[in-house]
Amino acid sequence: MTKRWDYLHEKISHHLQFIYADVVTNTPIGVLATELMNTIGLNQEDDIVIPEPHQNYWDEQDIVMITYGDSVINEHESPLFTLFRFLHTYCKNTVNKVHILPFFPFSSDDGFSVINYSSVNESLGTWSDVHRIAAEYGLMFDLVINHCSSRSMWFDNFIKGEGPGSDFFLTADPTADLTDVTRPRTSPLLRETETANGTQHVWCTFSHDQVDFDFKNPKVLITFIQIIKHYIDNGAKLFRLDAVAFLWKIIGTKCINLPQTHEVIRLMRTLIEHVDPSIIIITETNIPNRENLTYFGNANEAHAIYNFSLPPLLVNTMVTGDCTYLKSWMMSMPPAQNGTTYFNFIASHDGIGLRPAEGLLSDEEIGTLVQSMQNFGGRISWRSSEHGQQKPYEINITLFDAMQGTVKGPDKFQVDRFLCAHAMMLGMEGIPGLYIHSLLGTSNDYDKVANTGQNRSINRKRWDYSELESQLDSPYSQHHKVLTRLSQLIRIRKAQEAFHPNATQFTLQLGPSLFGYWRQSLNRRQSIFCISNVTDEEQSILLSDLNLIGTDNWIDLITRDQIEDVLGFVQLKPYQTVWLSNMDYEEYRKSQ
């Protein structure tokens, strides 16, 4: 073999030696490395692309929309075709990447209990529908890597004791001490299952319909590399590694964030980037902030990590009118080195996770936040703490309804508060992700909660396309107002080089009522001061506190107002955001 092939083979072998150091396997490491390379399509020298380190395969143009395949439906056409039509009609100039949540056959958890990884759920459409979207948008696929459905062929074979998958699943002795295991749910960890080989106790991190894989078996790893190859061939440009923090388990540990888990991600990164360096890996690790940051590795693991601490901190800021906690967190966040970035979001198909706020918000603050969200119609999902106490794990509410008011109760500023929250997120270091129901200003869906019995259904409305069209065409509807104004913000953002995901960011000290940060483009030509009034009262900024360069021309990119006096004051209405940029008016007008 050639030098390039040998180098890559040696690198993959190094990953495998670490992963399986304490595991007895029947396959030699070198043989396994060759099989993994062949599985992903790296069979010879010409197949191997050498990635440049620390490359940013993203810029200020990148906006991701998060959606289910059937968030918008229309009679007599597949939901994935309807989604394409919605994107083409309403998101053409704003969104360029789409995360379609698991669109495979499933048995529960709205797609995250996968029955078959290689086919499209017939109720959503076909691979042709997926390809149609992939031809115009960068597609993010979910790699549901920790578990699959108990109704999968693999688990059927596990029960039979023969066939593919019969040895894919993790079991444990029910008498073992499992008290240290981190649990995101309150269901029993082990599922008693009768099999051809006797009674087995299968590990189920999330639910008894979601049975955990045993990655100590190299066949599981090989199978997932096959799945990755299949997804790349069908248009995947981004991979979201679902619940990946739980991948490797060792009894006697917390069974989360183990070194082997990190090494598996590094191995996947190595394989994928030698096929196509522009494919992005994003880890979905809903865990405390300090632990989440470790998934960057040294720019050799995840390209991007979900900024899970942002949603609870930002919502807390908006309902209390005090940005102290958000500001402290932002100051503590290390700049992402080139080749890595944050994935920013403030709403998703899940609720507002509270574990990422641990150590950032006090128990009292979390209690107040939970109570406020319940007052706005939200539901709470619970988990058991290490001491068996019930603690809030997640707030289930649409972001639009979360912005109904403050700790004082509902008020008239819902739309303004909602847009302010997005303006704050859109300007931050990182790639923005917007949930479809945030773009549409969707309210809590209590009927779906009643029908499913699941709290998370509150934020998973299925829109009828004709009804949605009618709402979006009505200038007085909340949906029209939200989509129109959010789209305007996004278009402004995409035109600013200072909003590159890796552009410099510096947190401003403007007191608890004004949340501000400074962004500077990578070439240092453009500066933007992003300042938001997070209260329900007018606030003023003394511009001399910002140290605007007097020889530059300054303009608010949002209102188009020119700054005449860099030593004067700017008045901010309740929940108003300004993006002050050193760009003269004519230059700004040409950019629009």
Catalytic residues: 242
- Residue type at position 232: I
What is the distance between the alpha carbons of residues 307 and 136, in angstroms, rounded to a whole number? 26
The C-alpha torsion from 247 through 261 and 309 to 340, rounded to 10°, is -130
Known binding residue 460? Answer is no
CA distance 223 to 172: 22
560 known ligand binder = no
CA dihedral for 378, 384, 389, 391, sign (positive or negative): negative
Q: Hey, which residues does 100 pair with through a beta bridge?
A: 67
Tell me if 350 is assigned to a ligand binding site: yes
Which has the closest alpha carbon to 141: 241, 226, 64, 211?
241
Cβ burial of 442 (10 Å; 0-12, 13-18, 19+) is buried
Alpha carbon distance 257, 293 (integer Å):
11
Do the annotations mark residue 456 as ligand-binding? yes
240 is in an annotated binding site: yes
d(CA 191, CA 203): 6
How far apart, in whole angstroms, are the C-alpha atoms of residue 47 and residue 460?
41
Instruction: Count how many residues are written for the chain.
Output: 592
Residue type, 83: L
How far apart (Å, rounded) are the C-alpha atoms in residues 209 and 560?
Answer: 54
**Residue 59, marked binder:** no
What count of other Cβ atoms lies within 10 Å of the Cβ of residue 308? 25
SS3 of 188-231? CCEEEEEECCEEEEEECCCECCEEEECCCCHHHHHHHHHHHHHH
- Is 363 one of the annotated binding-site residues? no
109 is in an annotated binding site: yes
Annotated binding site: 109, 147, 240-242, 349-350, 456
Annotated binding site for substrate: 109, 147, 240-242, 349-350, 456
